[in-house]
Structure 1
Amino acid sequence: MGKDYYAILGVGKDASNEELKKAYRKLALKWHPDRNKDNTEAADKKFKDISEAYEALSDKDKRHIYDQYGEEGLKGGAPPGGGGFPGGGFPGGGGTTFSFSSGGPGSGGFGGFNPSNPEDIFAQLFGGGLSGMGGRGQGAQFMDVDNGMGGMGGMGGMGGFGHGGGHGNNISARRPQEVTRPLACTLEELYNGCTKKLKVTRRTRSAAGNITPSEKVLQVNVKPGWKAGTKIRFNKEGDNMGHGAQDIVFVVEEKPHSVFKRDGDDLKVDVTLTLDEALCGFKKPLQLLSGKSIFVSNSNSVVQPGQTSRMLNYGMPISKHPGKHGALIITYNVKFPTTLSLSQKEKIREALAE
């Protein structure tokens, strides 16, 4: 009786690639030997089984063969009631012949499926190792040079830099997945532009299998007007564990602002008025993201609660059109008094009756 890959991952036989990836990531983190120092032998076996199951099921051809013939058939043994497999094929599958390409770890040649090194699979799905866990799980890490480690964290492992996973390809033979990492920027930084320096600690595996860490500072020049989701790619600056160096991709994330809210190229801001300001007029200072201050005023009309006004060219810079800006959209909130004296009510009635 061969291994039940679906049971190992705790998924159903109709599980999607995303469900397989999610199950693998959860179980691989739980059973990684570096996290089970008191039970290394058992954890190592579980970790290998989890990696083997994921590698087989995340490849559509291997999964098809496994579903028909089980582990023995996948690894080159004869299917029930059948003979050998000339040329590495699997007859009896509705006229379809499946074969594995020769060469490369995990391809198995014509002899069937030979599982890859589980650490290679782990590194490709998590972009590195178990950050901060010690031992073989030391993955690449990132540091904001100007601000220390604040918010940057590790590249791999627990809450780190990982991205990618199986999409029906041979995991060990395909080019390494790119590594993505959020690049948090304040609204002021996205308005004015800035330079961010990030120290990268990457791992390189030699032909002899030795892993060597090295450091490099990457510089990101944030342009005025960049939006959340903007990607900055550094080719081949990530880990190189023997299958080619990973690309590092930073993705801009916008930090919440205490005053302004961005809407595309426009900026939105709330201005609170007292009732007398809404009725009689006002002039209020407003500091912009550039550091300059302007005055927001009205003296010609009554301002209604929720009323808005637009100030053109006071919004965010438009990165594709240097020198141009979006609009500043002001929403007025009117603060009503909670109580009025009898005298105040009479005076208001008199004023409004005129």
Structure 2
Amino acid sequence: MGQDYYAVLGITRSAHHAGINQAYRKLALKFHPLKNSEPAAPHRFKQIAEAYDVLSDPRKKATYDKFGEEGLKGGIPPEFGGEGAWTSGYVFHGNADKIFKEFFGGDNPFADFFKPDGSEVITAFGGLRGRGVKKQDPPIERDLYLSLEDLFFGCTKKIKISRRVMNEDGHTSSIRDKILSIDVCPGWNQGTKITFTNEGDQGPNIIPADIIFTVKEKPHPRFKRQGNDLVYISNIALGKALIGCTVAVETLDERLLHIPINDIVHPKYSKVVPGEGMRLSKDPNQKGDLIIQFDIQFPEHLTPQKKHLIRQALLS
């Protein structure tokens, strides 16, 4: 008669996945050779690991429940097991420490439960300190590209992600889509981060990763952003740079501004229009400035008559 894996873990045959995990956790910590100095502890620790290895796997468990240890380890002919029957026979790899580490997480999880002398590490709340059954995956970082209009007015962006989700049986998983909604606030700056906690892939021994979106600004056809200000480049002829002109600028909210330029426009000159820049994230009713810079268009050639007129105007 084969060994009773349920009896090894001290559970009934009706135990669910959570009960199997709980029983293994309790017994593995109790009989780990570093904690338990009894001569039989290593053998008991290995028995517990093998029982958990079988009962935590739906396929192994189903074969064991139907055919016992002999059928599980000897292999089941297809005529008895049906399609997908366990035909090769189960062999326990014998590495109880490997199962212990996979269950508790980390390269050396036992060090978080006990000191080198085998005594328990106790927290202020009376429990064992350590990673626990699960550990969290590193964050998943993605760029969120937004137009200046999106950042000026604010908007809602819906992003579809595909992630691995654990099924109700606690053993298997499947890929499912989910829609994440981001409410963009007016005035957000490039580099703003939006975090969705635990929205990464799920797994039996992990805490899903956080998904972090970082705001990136799309290039704009008219403006370049500098903090809360907007920079606009106006192309004007040399003559207008000298005698003045009016610059028309269409704003992000589709108003047309007519800005008079009465100064002489030199290469380093800029015109500041207060309150016509980006909205401020702390107070959307306030805005930065519009800064008009100039690209002066010099003529490629001049007729002798025009050169004479310019000479008279500038050198007289």
Whether the TM-score (by the shorter chain) exceeds 0.5 is yes
Q: Does 1:188 align with 2:149?
A: yes
Within-5 A mapping of 1:84-233: 87=34, 104-105=104-105, 107=107, 174-206=135-167, 209-233=171-195
Q: Does 1:256 align with 2:219?
A: yes
1:249 match: secondary structure: strand
2:310 match: secondary structure: helix
Aligned counterparts of 1:191 and 1:177: Cα–Cα separation in 2: 32
Aligned counterparts of 1:256 and 1:341: Cα–Cα separation in 2: 40
**Which of 234, 237, 255 is equivalent to 1:292?**
255
Aligned counterparts of 2:154 and 2:270: Cα–Cα separation in 1: 28
User: How many residues of Structure 1 are paired with residues of Structure 2 in the alignment?
Assistant: 200
Q: Does 1:306 align with 2:268?
A: yes
Please report how far the alpha carbon of residue 259 of structure 1 lies from its aligned counterpart in structure 2 after TM superposition: 2.0
Aligned counterparts of 1:287 and 1:324: Cα–Cα separation in 2: 19
Q: 1:173 to 1:291 in 2, by over 3 A?
A: same
- Root-mean-square deviation over aligned CA pairs: 2.9
Gaps of 5+ in 2: 1-32, 36-97, 112-129
Aligned counterparts of 1:281 and 1:191: Cα–Cα separation in 2: 31
Contact 1:310 1:330 in 2 (8 A): yes
Gaps of 5+ in 1: 1-85, 89-99, 112-168
Q: Does 1:320 align with 2:273?
A: no
Deviations 1:239-279 (A, max 9, x none): 11221222222111111222211111111121111011111
Please report how far the alpha carbon of residue 326 of structure 1 lies from its aligned counterpart in structure 2 after TM superposition: 0.9
Q: Does 1:238 align with 2:228?
A: no
The match for 1:343 is 305
For residue 323 of structure 1, what is the amino acid of its counterpart?
Answer: N
Please report how far the alpha carbon of residue 208 of structure 1 lies from its aligned counterpart in structure 2 after TM superposition: 5.1
For residue 251 of structure 2, what is the amino acid of its counterpart?
Answer: L
Q: Does 1:274 align with 2:274?
A: no
Moved more, 206-215 or 194-203: 206-215
Contact 1:306 1:333 in 2 (8 A): no
**Which of 276, 283, 288 is equivalent to 2:246?**
283
Aligned counterparts of 2:106 and 2:305: Cα–Cα separation in 1: 88
Contact 1:184 1:255 in 2 (8 A): yes
Please report how far the alpha carbon of residue 110 of structure 1 lies from its aligned counterpart in structure 2 after TM superposition: 6.6
Contact 1:186 1:254 in 2 (8 A): yes
Deviations 1:318-347 (A, max 9, x none): 101231111111112211111111111111
Aligned counterparts of 2:245 and 2:295: Cα–Cα separation in 1: 13
The match for 1:156 is none
Q: 1:195 to 1:340 in 2, by over 3 A?
A: same
Deviations 1:114-164 (A, max 9, x none): xxxxxxxxxxxxxxxxxxxxxxxxxxxxxxxxxxxxxxxxxxxxxxxxxxx
Aligned counterparts of 2:228 and 2:139: Cα–Cα separation in 1: 29
Please report how far the alpha carbon of residue 292 of structure 1 lies from its aligned counterpart in structure 2 after TM superposition: 1.4
Deviations 1:83-114 (A, max 9, x none): xxx949xxxxxxxxxxx996625546779xxx
Deviations 1:270-305 (A, max 9, x none): 111101111122112111112211012223x32112
Aligned counterparts of 1:87 and 1:216: Cα–Cα separation in 2: 45
For residue 294 of structure 2, what is the amino acid of its counterpart?
Answer: Y
Aligned counterparts of 2:239 and 2:212: Cα–Cα separation in 1: 53
Q: TM-score, normalised by structure 2?
A: 0.57
Q: 1:254 to 1:108 in 2, by over 3 A?
A: same
Aligned counterparts of 2:108 and 2:288: Cα–Cα separation in 1: 58
Larger Rg: 2
